[in-house]
Amino acid sequence: MAPRPASKTAVPSDKVGVICRALRRAIIEQALAPGAKLPEDSLGERFGVSRTIARHALGQLAAEGLVELRRNRIAVVATPSWQEARDAFDIRIELERLVVRQLAGKLTKSQVAELNAHVDAEDRARDGSDAVSIRLATEFHILLANMTNSPILVRYVSEVAYRCCLTLSLYSRPHSSECAINEHRAIIAALVKGDEAKVMSLMHSHLDSVASRALVAPAPPRGRDLLDILAPYAEEGESERVVKMPKVVRAR
């Protein structure tokens, strides 16, 4: 596959981008649970920008389906229905099958190393919080998508993966991710081997099992103070990109 130009994020300015990334992360780490309120003022205050910018960021996230905007009402973190969650997983399966189909047998050595490093990180984080495990697992898939060098595919996979994460907050029992990690390793192996059919079916069953383990029963809502929750996300630390490169798991 011929190398292609890297993806350019379609972010308007970048203050907006900073806020979006922070909120996305807060959401997938379940610091912001579905239904959590996101007033423009508080957001602006927390990130040191005006409401205009916060509002714009909320607009972007709404376009991605992570946030719900209701006219004249405070925006909230999206609360997808069970059926929407199932739909998201169905779409995700198709998209990620496409990803591995394009990638099978075409990974460079350094890419393989990067993937392995990421899974190692997942392994190391296994004892940590569920939130981090879930984030890392998701980022593995986004990392894969990135390697296709198809900006559109990256965007869709990321979006739908985030949405799926969101549903985990709602419908999943406490995460047990060990098997998932092994499945990640199996996928890498099949990719390296270049067995297109095999890797597609691996990805399919992997996501399918994640979905069925996840979509079992509703979980209780929780609430804390928005400003507190966002504190650790306010200054965009280490990981400028959603998927940070391997090695070190810990956030500074």
Q: Judged by CB under 7 A, does residue 73 bind DNA?
A: yes
Cα(248)–Cα(213) distance, rounded to whole angstroms?
Answer: 28
Cα(124)–Cα(4) distance, rounded to whole angstroms?
Answer: 33
Which one of residues 31, 49, 103, 143 is an interface residue with DNA (CB under 7 A)?
49
Question: Among a copy of itself, DNA, none, what binds residue 5 when CB lies within 5 to 8 Å by partner kind?
Answer: a copy of itself
Cα(129)–Cα(251) distance, rounded to whole angstroms?
Answer: 13
CA separation (Å) from 214 to 72, 163, 210? Answer: 34, 13, 6
Compare residues 68 and 139 and give the one whose CB is closer to a copy of itself. Answer: 68
**Residue 72 CB, nearest approach to a copy of itself (Å):** 9
Q: Choose the binding region for DNA from 7-15, 112-120, 132-140, 186-194 (rule: CB under 7 A).
A: 7-15
Q: Judged by CB under 7 A, does residue 23 bind DNA?
A: no
Q: Judged by CB under 7 A, does residue 55 bind DNA?
A: yes
Cα(62)–Cα(46) distance, rounded to whole angstroms?
Answer: 19
Which residues of this protein are in contact with a copy of itself, per CB under 8 A? 4-5, 10-14, 16, 52, 55-56, 58-60, 62-65, 68-69, 71, 81, 83-84, 87-88, 90-91, 94-95, 97-98, 150-153, 155-156, 160, 163
Q: E-assigned strands of 70-198?
A: 75-77
Compare residues 11 and 229 and give the one whose CB is closer to a copy of itself. Answer: 11
- 39, 226 contact by CB (below 8 A): yes
Which residues lie below 8 Å from residue 145, measured CB to CB, with a gap of 6+? 96, 99, 153, 154, 157, 158
Give contact residues for DNA (rule: CB under 7 A): 12-16, 38-41, 44, 48-53, 55, 69, 71-75
